[in-house]
Structure 1
């Protein structure tokens, strides 16, 4: 049976009430085209698009924008040689790109955060799912051991940490993606009596500096920045697994990009 790109999009959207306005949309290609294969990614980088083409896939489902802006407004970008080359690659390959960001975050619980929780094996310790965070209470570990655990489970080389290595961690707030700012985090630390915040990223001069001062005052607080992609890729990997179940006749691949940053 023929499955179109539009049918795959409809299946994704039927699990969450429609959101307007939203960045979720078909960024390249036609909804009427038959799907030959699906690639699910955190971000449709140049290397990912090339890999998708080599796999014979013609639909990429990406969480973040393909052209480096959240709203992906292309005004004035036509003269940029990097954008021009990437746009031409998409056009030549005939690959459709669907942005799936807002709706997966608005599912209950947040599908991206849930993927992170499952990857860490912390689902038995969930205390409460909030719209932008999840509160967990895990068996107590030192901050240093918690960092080691995160690196092992998520298969990442490094994280960035504020706090004392030997401080005990049990009550944790998880915030996937760009949710590490003070407006979200500081009320969580107070209202839920948290020891540790684990976030993808956020302004460095907000939550990390708050935690630095808290530690200086002798308070048991810490902050870990996993990286944006590192915190959200597990949710997209779980999405790929669900799509394999929903569309068993289609090849569905999850592609994890190489880490963006390295430590010198």
Structure 2
């Protein structure tokens, strides 16, 4: 029997209870369509959609929204040439985009967190997973050494770091996406005796300013910000690997992007 979009979604959603206002959905909603190929990506960028077309894939599984907001634009797309050109490309391509955000974050081990830890080869160092942070004890390194290691493992050109970069650290909290804000992160330093937090992103006037004051007080606490996409893309890469194993007859591709920001 032919594999349909519905079959793939049922496989991905098995056992997960989603909130009533979930953002996860298929657009256009053509669940009975036969799958020709699958692409996974952090975001369905212009480049990713173009690559899906080139590869002959007609199902793009994207973690983040297509049109630059977490939720749909309730009154339709903005009257903006970028949005309109992208919308026209998607319409011409015959591709459906499956937003896969809430479900993967609700797996028994958050699938995005699991992908990042696997890419860093730190799974063996996990002490426990809390709802928004994973607590690790890694081999002792300086903050600078951790930053270099993370860049090499994730194949990214830069991270941003705050704190005493020559300080030794082994107790690490790892968070993905937009979880790096003060209410989540700051209590963890003392509750979990953390030397270092590695996060995707967060408000810059919260944890970074806390780190500034901690260092001024002589406390060796540090922060590494990977970037939202850089922290979550490994989870979508892992998803592609798992879909390839589950549907071995189906071409499945993870499409990475370069970091959106450049150092100038």
Question: TM-score, length-normalised on structure 2?
Answer: 0.97
Residues 182-191 or 42-51, more deviating: 182-191
Tell me the CA shift for residue 187 of structure 1.
1.6
Question: TM-score, length-normalised on structure 1?
Answer: 0.97
- Matched with 1:259 is 259
1:128 and 1:25 map into 2 onto residues whose CA distance is: 31
Structure 2, unaligned runs of 5 or more = none
The SS at the match of 1:73 is coil
Structure 1, unaligned runs of 5 or more = none
2:166 matched to 1:159? no
Does the CA contact (< 8 Å) of 1:244 and 1:252 recur in 2?
Answer: yes
1:68 and 1:39 map into 2 onto residues whose CA distance is: 19
Q: Which structure 1 residue ranges, 4+ long, deviate > 3 Å from structure 2?
A: none
The SS at the match of 1:178 is coil
- Matched with 1:59 is 59
1:5 and 1:201 map into 2 onto residues whose CA distance is: 32
Does the CA contact (< 8 Å) of 1:127 and 1:137 recur in 2?
Answer: yes
Residues 78-87 or 98-107, more deviating: 78-87
2:170 matched to 1:149? no
- Matched with 1:42 is 42
- Matched with 1:138 is 138
- Matched with 2:33 is 33
Tell me the CA shift for residue 29 of structure 1.
4.4
- Matched with 1:194 is 194
Deviations 1:85-125 (A, max 9, x none): 11111110000000000111111211101111111111111
Does the CA contact (< 8 Å) of 1:29 and 1:95 recur in 2?
Answer: no
1:229 and 1:114 map into 2 onto residues whose CA distance is: 15
2:190 and 2:70 map into 1 onto residues whose CA distance is: 30
The SS at the match of 1:176 is coil
- Matched with 2:174 is 174
Tell me the CA shift for residue 16 of structure 1.
2.3
